[in-house]
Amino acid sequence: MLRMMVNAQVTVKGWCEMESFNELLVKAEAVHGHMCAGQILGVRMALLGLERLEIADPHGADRKRLVTYIEIDRCATDAIGMVTGCRLGKRALKFRDWGKMAATFADLASGRAVRIVALENSRELARARYPHIESKGQQQMLAYRELSDAELFSEQWVRIELDPAEMPGYKGERFLCPLCGEGVNFGRFAEKEGQRVCLSCARPALRYWSPADDLQ
């Protein structure tokens, strides 16, 4: 089924002319590890963002123009990063853990930004279009290739206030936390009892980990 879908005729055209929609899906599958509806949705969302910003070559000539905010840690996120070339390690991919299938694409050159949100009724449209297919995932994978951008997404032009310290390539001050002795980059500290400490020492209750010396 996957190979059939990859080779099927595509009605969607993105702004990026370097690679076809099918080629991007193949790359998304390789990055993510499997093909799913989220990959198709993510590729579509990223292509729409690039088209709105008129960014034609995000991996080449335009690679320093784009910053992308993602609002969910799901399958579509891998596809969005692959299409846009934005990476956490490049500080061009910003994660906001809001649980929304949404992304904002910001052009540093023009100052324009567009936020794109996947519409909730897209699943219903997929069921209506392919009622004879039992698998919801297969319904969505087929429909998400064919539905129009207006059927899949809402769009809104927005303003992004990107602090200079958040910019890709920024080299900020580094300091050692006096409590844990670990190095900290990019001003990620808080004041505690009159001294600068790392965020995990400043707010231990918010740590995602806890010491487990008994496991040694």
| Ordered DSSP codes for 118-129 | E-TTHHHHHHHH
74 domain residue, yes or no: yes
215 domain residue, yes or no: no
139 in the same domain as 35: yes
151 domain residue, yes or no: yes
Q: Which of 154, 148, 204 is nearest to 177 (CA)?
A: 204
11 domain residue, yes or no: yes
57 in the same domain as 111: yes
List the end-to-end C-alpha distance of the chain, in Å, as a whole number. 48
182 in the same domain as 88: no
184 in the same domain as 93: no
180 in the same domain as 105: no
Please check the confidence at residue 110 and state whether its pLDDT lies above 50: yes
Number of domains present in the structure of the chain: 2
Please check the confidence at residue 55 and state whether its pLDDT lies above 90: yes
182 in the same domain as 86: no
191 phi-psi bin (left φ>0, alpha ψ -120 to 50, beta other): beta
105 in the same domain as 189: no
Please check the confidence at residue 59 and state whether its pLDDT lies above 70: yes
213 domain residue, yes or no: no
153-173 pLDDT, tens per residue? 999 999 998 877 778 877 778
166 domain residue, yes or no: no
Per the structure, the complete domain to which residue 89 belongs is given by 2-160
**Rounded distance, CA 161 to CA 68, Å?**
13
182 in the same domain as 83: no
Please check the confidence at residue 53 and state whether its pLDDT lies above 70: yes
Q: What value does the mean pLDDT take over residues 34-53?
A: 92
Most confident of the following: 35-39, 72-76, 87-91, 151-155 = 151-155
Buried-exposed string 63-77: b where 16+ CB fall within 10 A, e elsewhere: bebbbbbbbbeebbb
Strand partners, 62: none
196 in the same domain as 131: no
The predicted structure's pLDDT at residue 3: 33
15 domain residue, yes or no: yes
